[in-house]
Chains A and B, each alone.
Chain A
Amino acid sequence: MMKNDTVIDAHNISKIYNPETIPVFAVNDVHLHLNRGEFTALVGPSGSGKTTLLNLIGGLDRPDTGNILINNIDITKLSANKLITFRLNHIGFVFQSFNLIPVLTARENVEMIMHLQKSQRMDRDTRIKQLFEEVQLSDKIDSRPSQLSGGQQQRVAVARALASKPQFVLADEPTANLDSKSASNLLDIMAKLNTEEHITFLFSTHDQRVIDRARRVITLVDGKIVSDTLPTSTA
């Protein structure tokens, strides 16, 4: 059984653009609670505030109101510099367009995170080996991004997101640029990591394949949560 402890606890969070002219509520009084081991999809039409909400939860942006507690730390109160360190150590990011550093090999892209964490060489080597096995890319470890397919690059991006042993992974439309086979393969890997390693994933997505695999689906419209199908039984 998975231990049901809280990873994300967001209260009354709002993000308002143009507050002094024509206010636009990108995120409007949202409450969100995520437990460890969840595999959650954040869905909604374009402009519904999915990416903004992910940015707020990921500490990339600050809400105009509300608090976001991650592991009981209110990230809205952290200074910009502390927030960067917090992101490094607690949150993994997977972006839509992979965003690997083109001049580094797959291994170096992942290792960069551990360099930032000042990990020891031996720890890095062990962790990298393990991560590349998990994303099934051990044979591509020394390839540069240009030598990898889109799906393989996104799997390297997942390995990079996991390199710091984060509390959870935020993935912004991770399958949007992938063909069905690569998307399915990626989802298999992420689902396996979720099941076996209890890694928490929160996706923003339009992709029905992702929605079908999620155990909890949160729907956002005009910045408000309009539905939240709670987790089914543990994976």
Chain B
Amino acid sequence: MWLVRLAWLNLWRNKSRTLISMAAVFFAVVLSIVLSAITVGAFDNMIKNLVSYYTGYIQVHRAGYWDEQTLENSFRRSTSMEDSMMNVNSVSGITPRLESFSLAASGDVTKGVMVVGVNPKTENQATMLENKLVAGNYLNETGNEVLLCEGLAERLKLSLNDTLILIGQGYHGATAAGRYQVKGIVHFGSPDLNDRMLFMSLNTAQQLYSAEDMITSYVFVLQEHSDLDETAEQIRHLLSNHYEVMTWGDIMPEVKQHMESEIVTDRMFLVILDILVGLGIFGTLLMMMVERSFELGMLMAIGMKKSKMIFLLVSESVFTVMGGCIIGILASIPILYYLKINPIRFSGELAKAYERFGFEAVLPASTEPENFIWQGLVVLCIGLTLALYPVWKVIKMDPVSSMKR
């Protein structure tokens, strides 16, 4: 106990050195927590954006549908299948869709469009489709009405209550054709989706494509993104190999890759930051060992064992690094809450680039406790690893050479 007290007192014999070391740890912890929280927050937000725009977290199709997206690869909707999939723990919602391509015409303008038949209620729970309305009203369960994406409406020169003609091929080669009223216009961040998507109720789509009770996909909403892979695996176990289970990353591999490369960049930045902080701490340890070499030699001369000296020096390092870590964690809490409420917003070209991928151009901060703990632990480990330097010096120390002035 007296050694712990001595270690504590030793910290304050050179206040500047101790405060510099603590400040290095403090800034490292704050910066790494904030940076990591923004990375995690941005990552989570991107995924939420992605899944809520269109894909959902997981999709189930008939096997082979993703490679050949035709109505011939649709499957019959099954209440028992839906019930069993809803029983998977982390699944919070499932919505069915019937999707196909058709030619849309209005006046003398035509364009290939993707027709998505949805259950208005469950689709809204999954992708918050109603929130994307910029004009008009949301879909009903039945009726010859559609929601057009804003870009597509502009291309077809359509506005609310105008009529749209759809022509295409239905299930088993039947002709698909119909007239529909524009009930609402929705905006999608992704220009690609915004220029080609058209929504109608599932019943209406099934009638259009002569595909009664048929759907092309189930779209899943999960409670937590972290459950993604495990949930996908559980659903695979539930279903026969007549179905394919795809995560959003399988559906949009290029977007996943882009996000992963951003995460790698941020982690590299964190590593560089940690190295700089490590060098800062090491510098102060180096200085401390030079300054106290005589004293440590004297302590060994008068009978202090090396193990006790190591305990003393490691205790000093623990106090310094722990102190910096704890203050850093406490200081980063209000910063992160502020950044969560007032996220950093991009503007200009960067914002456009984000929106092109269908993401909101914001960087919200995550306030997950594990982020604080993990980053604090990383810096703590760096500090304690560097504390091995004085340990090594003490192990090699002999009193005579240490006491040479």
Chain A interface residues (CB < 8 Å from chain B): 55, 58, 60-61, 81, 84-85, 87-89, 93, 95, 99, 101-104, 111-113, 115-117, 160-161, 164
Contacts and interface: CB of A to CB of B under 8 A. Distances in A.
Given A101-B295, A116-B308, A88 B302 contact: yes
A76 B403 CA distance: 20
Contacts of B12: 103
A208 B295 CA distance: 29
A84 B304 contact: yes
Given A103-B12, A116-B308, A60 B301 contact: yes
A95 B299 CA distance: 12
B302 A113 contact: yes
A160 B301 CA distance: 13
Given A61-B400, A102-B13, A113 B305 contact: no
Given A60-B400, A104-B6, 13 more contacts: A55-B400, A60-B301, A81-B306, A84-B303, A84-B305, A95-B403, A102-B13, A103-B13, A116-B303, A116-B308, A160-B302, A161-B302, A164-B303
Contacts of A116: 303-305, 308
A89 B304 CA distance: 11
B9 interface: yes
A103 to B, nearest CB: 4
Contacts of B403: 95
Interface string B384-405: 0000000000000011100100
Contact of A93 (B13, B294, B295, B302): B302
B12 to A, nearest CB: 7
Nearest to B10: A103
Contact of A113 (B303, B306, B400): B303
Contact of B399 (A60, A102, A160, A161): A60
Nearest to A170: B301
Contacts of B2: 111-112, 115
Contacts, number: 56
B300 interface: yes
B9 A87 contact: no
B298 interface: yes
Given A81-B305, A113-B302, A164-B303, A101 B400 contact: no
A99 B295 contact: yes
Determine the interface band of chain B, counting residues with CB < 8 A from chain A. 20 to 34
Nearest to B399: A60
28 contacts: A55-B400, A60-B301, A60-B400, A61-B400, A81-B306, A84-B300, A84-B303, A84-B305, A85-B303, A87-B301, A87-B302, A88-B303, A93-B302, A95-B403, A99-B295, A99-B298, A101-B6, A101-B295, A103-B10, A103-B12, A103-B13, A104-B9, A111-B2, A112-B6, A113-B302, A115-B2, A116-B308, A117-B303
Nearest to A111: B2
Contacts of A89: 303
Contacts of B304: 84, 88, 116
Nearest to B304: A116
A187 to B, nearest CB: 22
Interface string B1-25: 0100010011011000000000000
A93 B308 contact: no
Contacts of B298: 93, 95, 99
B303 A103 contact: no
Contacts of A95: 298, 403
Nearest to A116: B303
A41 to B, nearest CB: 21
A103 B305 contact: no
Interface in B25-46: none
B397 to A, nearest CB: 10
Closest 7 CB pairs of A and B: A88-B303, A103-B9, A99-B298, A60-B399, A61-B400, A103-B13, A87-B303
A103 B5 CA distance: 10
Most interface-central of B6, B294, B303 (chain A CB within 10 A): B303
Interface in B304-330: 304-306, 308
